[in-house]
Amino acid sequence: MGKKNIVIISILIASSLFSSSEACNGASEDCGVSTYWGQNHEEGSLLAACESGLYEYVNVGFLTTFGCYHNPVINLDDHDASSLVADIKACQDKGIKVLLSIGGAGGNDTICSPENAKEVADYLWENYLAPGNAGVLGDATFDGIDFYVEALSNLYWDDLVKALAAYSSAEKKVYLSAAPQCPYPDYYLDAAIKTGCFDYISVHFFDNAPCDYSGGIDSLLASWNKWSSSLPEGNKLFLGLPASREDASSGYIEPEELTTKVLPLIKSSPNYGGVMVFDRLFDVRANYTAKIKPAVCDDGTALHRRRQKRPFISMV
């Protein structure tokens, strides 16, 4: 067999190995802070969020309607969607991962069947993720998809996350994030999380008094430890918190209490990924992330991940 044929076969084998075994391996990123942007024009632009130096991940929300053959609808409040093209690229140039968040409150986000899950994944890939495609946002593409699911049904989300993960390749890694509530297991996303396909799990430790900080630090830690010990290998676990008391009915933690009492205990978890601050508007008003940022990562610095684009490398 000639050398050319051997090279071609090796490439095909590598591609096959990636799609079958690597697609659902979690990210090996270092820790950081994530937030949600897109639901109030007073929060400022996406570019301003990225230029603040506060975040390593920004979830743009929300794609509120999809699945079950509904026409997809993206809700960005009063933001000018045309500005997103340049803003997404600028954020990515800074090394910040920008994900499209699907779901949100009040949407119509139900998957009808495994086949429908594949159709939704195809739509997301072709319109928001595929490099070189002229999608909804022109030539700007998101780094991945965040599942912020508050749907009527808990069915077939595992099929959707597996279908999206299958699009990961050596050319583009599709990052996948989930935002479950702190009661374990999460009603909507339990089956999807157990696939191991998510890179980041940002658990909402707010609006759930039995497992958030309003029930005392022991309640929060018990829930955190349950999540930490139950996640598939490779998933990064984020502590999801409101940026202010006005942003949640319960679960707010004062910055000083978070940095001196909570973070020192949870950062020892091997799958600790950082803190998710909800959301950008309330963070702007309260300056919450700026107060906690130096304590979020192990080395005490504001950033733990290099501020530059890094190619995704498949190791086979």
70 occurs within a structural domain: yes
Strands (E), the chain: 32-37, 57-66, 73-74, 97-103, 108-109, 144-148, 175-178, 200-204, 236-242, 272-278
What pLDDT score was predicted for residue 310? 35
Residue 283 · residue 255 · CB < 8 Å: no
7 occurs within a structural domain: no
- 81 pairs with which residues across the strands? none
Residue 20 DSSP class:
I
Range of the domain at 36: 29-296
304 occurs within a structural domain: no
Q: Where are the alpha helices (DSSP H) in the chain?
A: 3-17, 46-51, 84-93, 114-124, 157-165, 190-193, 217-230, 255-257, 263-266, 280-286, 288-296
Mean pLDDT per block of 10 residues along the chain (316 residues) reads 43 40 62 97 97 98 95 92 93 98 90 98 98 88 97 94 98 98 98 98 98 96 98 97 97 98 97 98 98 86 40 31
108 residue type, one letter? N
Give the C-alpha separation, 165 to 120, whole Å. Answer: 13
Residues annotated as catalytic are: 150
- The pTM for the full model equals 0.88
* Cα→Cα distances 255→35, 98, 279, Å: 16, 25, 15
What the block records as the tokens of 279 is 């959301």
What pLDDT score was predicted for residue 140? 94
- The CATH number of whichever domain residue 138 belongs to comes to 3.20.20.80
214 occurs within a structural domain: yes
Question: Cα Rg for the chain, rounded, in angstroms?
Answer: 19
Handedness of CA 88, 90, 94, 95 (dihedral sign): positive
215 occurs within a structural domain: yes
Residue 147 · residue 191 · CB < 8 Å: no
What pLDDT score was predicted for residue 25? 67
CA angle 25, 301, 218 (to 5 degrees): 70
115 occurs within a structural domain: yes
H or E element, residue 247: none
245 occurs within a structural domain: yes
Domain count, the chain: 1
In 3D space, the residue among 82, 44, 77, 42 whose CA is nearest the CA of residue 61 turns out to be: 77
8 occurs within a structural domain: no
Block residue for tokens 């069947």: 113
Give the C-alpha separation, 242 to 228, whole Å. Answer: 20
Residue 62 · residue 108 · CB < 8 Å: no
In this structure, the strands spanning 32-37 and 73-74 are unpaired
Tell the burial category of 200 from Cβ atoms under 10 Å away from its Cβ (0-12, 13-18, 19+).
Answer: buried
